[in-house]
Amino acid sequence: MEYVFCCTLNFCNSLECAVVSLISHISFKRRFNKFLLLFFFLFTISGLSATNQNGFHSELFNEQGRVNQIGDGRGTLVLVGGGLYPELVEVFDALKAYLDQSNNVFSRGQKKARVGVICSAKASFADAEDAFYNDDPESPVEFPSYKNLFSQKGFEPVFIPITIDRISGNYDSAESPENASLIRSCEILYFIGGDQAKVLRCFVRSDGRDSEAMKAVKEVYRAGGIIMGSSAGMHVMSKTMFGWGESYETLKINQLETREVADVPLNGDSVYPSKRNNSIIMPGFGLLPDGILTDTHFDSRGRLGRLAAGMRDTKQNTGIGVDVSTTLFIEDGMGKVIGRRGVFILIAGNQSFPEKSGFFKAEKISANYLTSGDTFMIDTGEFFSSKKAVSSTSLPIKPSSDIFSEELDSEGKRKNQYQGTFVLKDFIRCSKQNVRSKSFQNNPEFYLEFSKTPESKAFYESDSLFSAFNIQMTINSSKER
């Protein structure tokens, strides 16, 4: 029996015992009346238990037990670069607005949207349960439990008990009819961060088939629900996913490694590249349109390089890199940025990746940077911003000497985060036509160059709210292998 249902049944059983005890102390003129009262109560409690076992929000289901239309029936994907913090009020409001569309029952608080929190990126059921129920003991306000986070924001959170240590042996939580029904009872499904390989292994069988839980996720999406993923939970949404590596080593090795679903161990461990800090390619859920590769914690970890390499080796022409505390809502082929930082969107052409030899090279990649309120059309590659257009200025521009954020301090933390963002912010407001930054390591030294073209456009409101479209990006090295 799943944890949620066990809690319900335990509550009912405890209530039964309490009432039976109370009845036993009531004096009746006739023993028959006492028996009738006890029988009526036990029958009611039995019905309550059965109702909870069969799922929640019964209005969401049709006669076949399938999900009825949610909102206007248009499914939404929400890519979270990492860090879904309580202060991101605009993101939580947007979730309600995307569900509402026209009737505003969620935004007005007339109804609470049910959020299924999926902690499959954790190493065990115990870790997943801890993440859902328990606040961070040192910073409970900044890092509340997922249950408290969504409750505080006006949602109804529910724990989805599917973890890597419960998909083998006599019981497979991803094939459980109860868990599939629990997933179908939600308007929003949120995959938390952690290890993306574990999420994949939980929801996709070793032969590549969808589990019953995965079928339920896709059914919620097709019915008009929201599928939301942060960090690892975002990575798995594309048809092909990648990650694990650093930009510099990935560019230097110049060949990503491949792993399959069956390579993910069931003991709580993960998959690793054979070459240190190289990146890995794996299958994904296939919720995003074909041709899109995603990356997370993006510019804080200097991932422009590894995303470009990933696009080449996965043959995806569009790369989406989302920063921490930032989201990209995708519905009907349109993406909209909501959050505190930015989203890089790289678009490769037919000539962007020369024939593979030596170290990694890329040229004529269209680099686009979007911040809150900006939108783009996936099919056409068009970008839109309501911010004020930038006129040519003579501001100084300083290239980065650590464009991939490699240098670490004494505690092992990155010293130079968001280097691509900072360079681009100054570049769009200077008179120069190109700026060349370099890697921190120099064996070899890699260069990343931004160049303006006649199609380039720039918009600026503040240092945190600016946009750049159709900036040409080139990556090269100081020497051949």
Residue 163 and residue 21 share a domain? no
Are residues 114 and 46 part of one domain? no
For the stretch 381-412, pLDDT in tens is: 999 999 999 986 788 899 999 999 999 999 99
Q: What are the angstrom distances between the C-alpha of 178 and each of 160, 162, 190?
A: 10, 11, 18
Residue where one domain finishes, among candidates 303, 324, 342: 342
Decide which of 317, 342, 367 is a domain's last residue.
342
Residue 450 lies in a domain: no
Residue 394: inside a domain: no
Is residue 15 pLDDT above 80, yes or no? no
Question: Is the same domain home to 20 and 83?
Answer: no
Tell me the pLDDT tens digit for each residue of 156-172.
999 999 999 999 877 89
Phi/psi for 217 (5° steps) reads: -60, -50
Same domain assignment for residues 93 and 25 = no
Q: Which of 315, 342, 369 is the last residue of a domain?
A: 342
Q: Are residues 166 and 288 both part of a single domain? A: yes
Let me know whether 30 and 126 are in one domain.
no
Q: What is the DSSP string of 56-105?
A: S-GGGB-TTSPBPP-TTS--EEEEE-S---TT-HHHHHHHHHHHHTTS-T
Look at residue 280 in the predicted model and tell me its pLDDT.
98
Residue 384 lies in a domain: no
Structural domain for 39, as ranges: 3-53
Look up the pTM and report it.
0.87
End-to-end CA distance of the chain: 58
Residue recorded with tokens 């049944």: 9
Distance in angstroms (rounded) separating the CA atoms of residues 181 and 203: 15
The per-residue pLDDT for 479 is 83
Q: Tell me the per-residue pLDDT of 409-455, one tens digit each, with 9 for 90 and over.
A: 999 999 999 999 999 999 999 999 999 999 999 999 999 999 999 99
pLDDT of residue 66: 66
Same domain, 150 and 13: no
Instruction: Count other C-beta atoms under 10 Å from residue 101's C-beta.
Output: 15
Kindly report the average pLDDT of the chain as a whole number.
88
91, part of any domain: yes
Answer for the pair 286, 210: CB distance below 8 angstroms, yes or no.
no
Residue 22 lies in a domain: yes
What is residue 73's predicted lDDT score, i.e. its pLDDT?
A: 76
Residue 339: strand pairing partners: 326
Q: What pLDDT score was predicted for residue 101?
A: 64
Read off the pLDDT of each residue in 79-99 and give the average, rounded to a whole number: 96
What's the rounded mean pLDDT across residues 282-290? 96
Closest CA to 117 of 78, 82, 80, 162: 162
181 plus 267 within the same structural domain: yes
User: For residue 227, what are the β-bridge partners?
Assistant: 77, 189
Residue 298: count of CB within 10 angstroms of its CB = 28
Instruction: Examine the pLDDT at 127 and tell me if it is beyond 80.
Output: yes
Query: 80 and 45, same structural domain?
Result: no
Residues 254-272: pLDDT tens digits?
999 999 999 999 998 999 9
**Do residues 25 and 123 share a domain?**
no
User: What number of helices (H) and strands (E) belong to the chain?
Assistant: 12, 22
Encoding tokens for residue 306? 């590894």
Confidence band (pLDDT; 50, 70, 90) for 72?
confident
Per the domain annotation, does 193 fall within a domain? yes
Q: Is residue 247 part of a domain?
A: yes
Read off the CATH number of the domain in which 261 is found.
3.40.50.880
Are residues 114 and 207 part of one domain?
Answer: yes
Domain count, the chain: 2
Residues 110 and 192 in one domain: yes
Q: Would you say residue 181 lies in a domain?
A: yes
